[in-house]
Structure 1
Amino acid sequence: MAENHSQFQTRCVSSLVKVFADEALTEASWNRGTALWAETFAFQVAYRSEALVYSLKVEVSSELAPWTTVRSVGLAPSELPTFAHSDDYVLRKTPGLYPDPLYPLSNNGMRVYPGQWRTLWVTVDLPSKEAWAAAGGSSEGVRSFTLDIQFKGDEGAELGSQRFVLDVLPAELPQQKLIHTEWMHYDCLATYYNIEIFGEKHWELIERYAGNAVRHGMNMLLTPLFTPPLDTAVGGERPTVQLVDVELTAEGEYRFGFDRLVRWVEMCDRVGIRYLEFSHLFTQWGARHAPKIVATAAEGGEQRQKRIFGWETEATGEPYRRFLSRFLPALDAFIRAHNLEHRCYFHISDEPNLTQLEDYRSAGAILKEHLGAYPFIEALSDYGFYEQGLVPVPIPANDHIDSFLDNGVSELWTYYCCGQSVDVSNRFFNMPSARNRILGYQLYKYGIKGFLHWGYNFWNTQNSREAIDPYRVTDAGGAFPSGDAFAVYPGTDGPLDSIRWEVFREALQDLRACELLESLSGRERVLELLDKGLPEPLTFRHYPREASWLLTKRAEINERIAKLSGA
């Protein structure tokens, strides 16, 4: 549909466009796309008014309306959009307002400020073919659906409209094989919402946030046996988030209660979490101390809660060794009693470096004496840890992965965080969304088994010295580029998505589409298609920068799937 009001302009653009309120929209219209059943498809409708509109309302007319959600792309402040050493593959390097949070539309309408381009984020959660058939629809052949987006202003005045055509192909996106974890910070939930840790409200919120994560491709959940020793200042302490009850008896023995862990597993099963990632059993950056552990102990004739281990505890000292010699067999027995053997992963210490190798080795030996049957995963960058057999499943950063690839590591994961700001994929505010989405094809090409990110909802300053309001502080108090520390915002009753989180899901869907095409044509054909027309083969550092390449490539993959599926 045309941009049909002289005072009000509209334009459909892809999900890979970031529209800034203080600059002209130069992106060409994009009004048609393709998708598979059981896929989440998104596009944007940009709009601009010459005059102030007090109450803009939006209506969607489509056969897909029951599966369609429209949200407003909000603006978030960034004081630190980038580090000084970052590359130039960014949209801006200046502080300011960046498009990021996605807000539900208000029944009272939206305020439209004159002279600013803003956008709506339109999401179509396509059902499975079975669910579509149950609703009375046919999934035979290519189904072309129109989505009409209508804008109405004050007193119901019609301002403009756009039509998008979505061609749904007769194939279904398969289940995700990649293991994907984004660390949820449970104390941040309790602090922001001002609720009791593991009170009923906390459990409700954890489940809603976990459900959101699952819908975005996360299938592994950080499970806090004890308060995770992550992003904590040395000598500092984060609020206690501990699933395992510990009792220290008068005789100096330990008893363990797993009731909360049972509830946790049941919650994971409900929302679709397949894997449990047990929190690190030694402190970050070197494995030199025990994590914070609280126990009930007799004190002054009463049973009281007190911290029994923490920064003052030597990692390999006798007291903590003795504790682990009691706890780990009890945990192993719990895992086996609940048939969780093939769902559990363990950590020793996050991001160790070679100067800490011997400390890491000693700490790991304690754990593996009791947990040798389970996989250990670790975010690290030094190949030496894998070479010496200390980390069976390494997770190097995507800018340090080459040595692992060159040596043919088979069970290889990857991650990125604030440091990965030169050449490689990431999802900071100031980066093009194409730089976020390209990861899906990179994961496929190199057969990566898992992806980890540290910041699903880290709403603290660096080292957790203070809590922050993520709507006002997006850089962890000037520590990390905006977009590194969290992917979701706290809504009234649960998470609000960011456009970065939505685009990351698209990356994982690209990966799944490649796997579907591989099942139909073989892996070599898919790899040929990915590299077709490129000046050099796709790698983690070398890849097309244009959003159009990503959109065209996915359309080509879809077309081949449709052809081989008999459409």
Structure 2
Amino acid sequence: KRMLTEEFQDPLYGHVQLWCPIMPNYAEPLARARQRLGEEVWWYVCTGPKAPYCTLFIDKPAIELRMWLWQTWKYGVQGILIWHTNWWTSTGPFPGPDVQNPWEDPMSYVDASTGFWGNGDGRFFYPANRDPNGDRETEYVEAPISSLRWEMLGVGIQDWEYFRILADRVRAAEARGDRSPRVRAARELLRVPPEITLDMVRFTRDPRLLEAHREKLADAIEHLAAAR
């Protein structure tokens, strides 16, 4: 497949099989049209967008990365992209021999310059060596250390999977001719409630709302499984 991190444009039609625009450039009617033609649609976040969108920055609420997956489901987006996970140093502000210590300096700098991408952009894992300039001899074999933001992204992916599993169960039940109230209620649960996220810039920061809806999804999955 040919993937392009650009928004939908007429001159590109027929040449792209996987579209991946940055989140604010996602256009739902155009995305649906490309999907009907068998093309995939993802989206991504990086140094942009900034607030009020969901972001990946350290100095923003961690729930934003989880919420991104709820919005991914809401808009029928089929995948997400993050450009980097261990961007630890940049040659601009740290030309050598010393490197940036990501444990002490949270900023992700534009490579080969002194520009700013943002705190934590492209940095979801941290090195086991907490003193990369002072300790150059120790051989570290430990796995990189994940961030809270990475864990929240993982929880969001799990949330998305709950939606997907229930959607599969609903389709299977409807294919069997089941139009019972239980199936209709399950289909309604596949709609992300507006009090959780109304659009890409209006969404809750209260995890209790997400947990309550996720529990409903889980109950519906179990009920439809028992009904087969």
TM over 0.5: yes
Separation in structure 2 between the aligned mates of residue 449 and residue 482 of structure 1, nearest angstrom: 27
Q: 1:470 aligns with which of 82, 98, 102?
A: 102
* Alpha-carbon contact 2:74-2:192 (below 8 Å) kept: no
Separation in structure 1 between the aligned mates of residue 5 and residue 165 of structure 2, nearest angstrom: 29
Separation in structure 2 between the aligned mates of residue 395 and residue 463 of structure 1, nearest angstrom: 29
Q: Which has the higher helix share?
A: 2
1:201 maps to what in 2? none
- Kindly indicate whether residue 28 of structure 2 is the aligned counterpart of residue 399 of structure 1: no
What does 1:380-391 correspond to in 2, within 5 Å? 380=6, 382-384=7-9, 387-391=12-16
Q: 1:561 aligns with which of 198, 221, 228?
A: 221
1:216 maps to what in 2? none
Q: 1:501 aligns with which of 131, 145, 150?
A: 150
1:417 maps to what in 2? 46
2:208 maps to what in 1? 548
* Alpha-carbon contact 1:437-1:507 (below 8 Å) kept: yes
Separation in structure 1 between the aligned mates of residue 10 and residue 51 of structure 2, nearest angstrom: 24
Change (3 A) 1:415 1:385: farther
1:490 maps to what in 2? 127
Change (3 A) 1:550 1:475: same
Deviations 1:229-262, CA, capped at 9 Å, x for gaps: xxxxxxxxxxxxxxxxxxxxxxxxxxxxxxxxxx
What does 1:75-224 correspond to in 2, within 5 Å? none
Separation in structure 1 between the aligned mates of residue 92 and residue 32 of structure 2, nearest angstrom: 34
User: How many residues are matched?
Assistant: 192
1:379 maps to what in 2? 5
* Alpha-carbon contact 1:530-1:538 (below 8 Å) kept: no
Deviations 1:442-490, CA, capped at 9 Å, x for gaps: 2223332221111211112276964421112221246122121210001
* Superposed displacement of residue 531, structure 1: 4.0
Give RMSD over aligned pairs: 3.0
Q: Which has the larger radius of gyration?
A: 1
- Kindly indicate whether residue 139 of structure 2 is the aligned counterpart of residue 511 of structure 1: no
Change (3 A) 1:438 1:536: closer
1:184 maps to what in 2? none
2:179 maps to what in 1? none
Read off the aligned partner of 2:157 and give its amino acid letter. Answer: L
Change (3 A) 1:509 1:390: same
Separation in structure 2 between the aligned mates of residue 393 and residue 506 of structure 1, nearest angstrom: 25
Deviations 1:47-95, CA, capped at 9 Å, x for gaps: xxxxxxxxxxxxxxxxxxxxxxxxxxxxxxxxxxxxxxxxxxxxxxxxx
Separation in structure 2 between the aligned mates of residue 563 and residue 456 of structure 1, nearest angstrom: 38
Read off the aligned partner of 2:68 and give its amino acid letter. Answer: L
Separation in structure 2 between the aligned mates of residue 495 and residue 537 of structure 1, nearest angstrom: 33
Read off the aligned partner of 2:117 and give its amino acid letter. Answer: F
Which ranges of structure 1 fall in alignment gaps of 5 or more residues?
1-374
1:454 maps to what in 2? 83
Separation in structure 2 between the aligned mates of residue 458 and residue 500 of structure 1, nearest angstrom: 15
Separation in structure 2 between the aligned mates of residue 379 and residue 465 of structure 1, nearest angstrom: 29
Partner secondary structure for residue 5 of structure 2: strand
Which ranges of structure 2 fall in alignment gaps of 5 or more residues?
110-114, 129-139, 175-183
Partner secondary structure for residue 476 of structure 1: strand
1:77 maps to what in 2? none
Change (3 A) 1:403 1:514: closer
Change (3 A) 1:560 1:378: same
* Superposed displacement of residue 527, structure 1: 6.0
Change (3 A) 1:404 1:397: farther
Separation in structure 2 between the aligned mates of residue 453 and residue 473 of structure 1, nearest angstrom: 21
* Alpha-carbon contact 1:383-1:403 (below 8 Å) kept: no
Q: 1:443 aligns with which of 56, 72, 79?
A: 72
What does 1:271-420 correspond to in 2, within 5 Å? 375-380=1-6, 382-384=7-9, 387-402=12-27, 405=30, 408-410=33-35, 411-420=40-49
Change (3 A) 1:537 1:421: closer
* Alpha-carbon contact 1:530-1:553 (below 8 Å) kept: no
Separation in structure 2 between the aligned mates of residue 458 and residue 437 of structure 1, nearest angstrom: 21
* Alpha-carbon contact 2:106-2:119 (below 8 Å) kept: yes
**% identity of equivalent residues:** 23
Separation in structure 2 between the aligned mates of residue 459 and residue 550 of structure 1, nearest angstrom: 32
Change (3 A) 1:479 1:434: same
Partner secondary structure for residue 4 of structure 2: strand
* Superposed displacement of residue 441, structure 1: 2.1
Change (3 A) 1:403 1:533: closer
Separation in structure 2 between the aligned mates of residue 485 and residue 444 of structure 1, nearest angstrom: 23
Read off the aligned partner of 1:534 and give its amino acid letter. Answer: P
Q: Which has the higher strand share?
A: 1
* Superposed displacement of residue 389, structure 1: 3.8
Partner secondary structure for residue 501 of structure 1: helix
Change (3 A) 1:490 1:469: same
Separation in structure 2 between the aligned mates of residue 404 and residue 465 of structure 1, nearest angstrom: 44
Separation in structure 2 between the aligned mates of residue 437 and residue 383 of structure 1, nearest angstrom: 26
* Alpha-carbon contact 2:196-2:210 (below 8 Å) kept: no
Separation in structure 1 between the aligned mates of residue 77 and residue 193 of structure 2, nearest angstrom: 24
* Superposed displacement of residue 500, structure 1: 0.6
* Alpha-carbon contact 1:475-1:485 (below 8 Å) kept: no
Read off the aligned partner of 1:495 and give its amino acid letter. Answer: P
* Superposed displacement of residue 517, structure 1: 0.9
Read off the aligned partner of 1:512 and give its amino acid letter. Answer: E
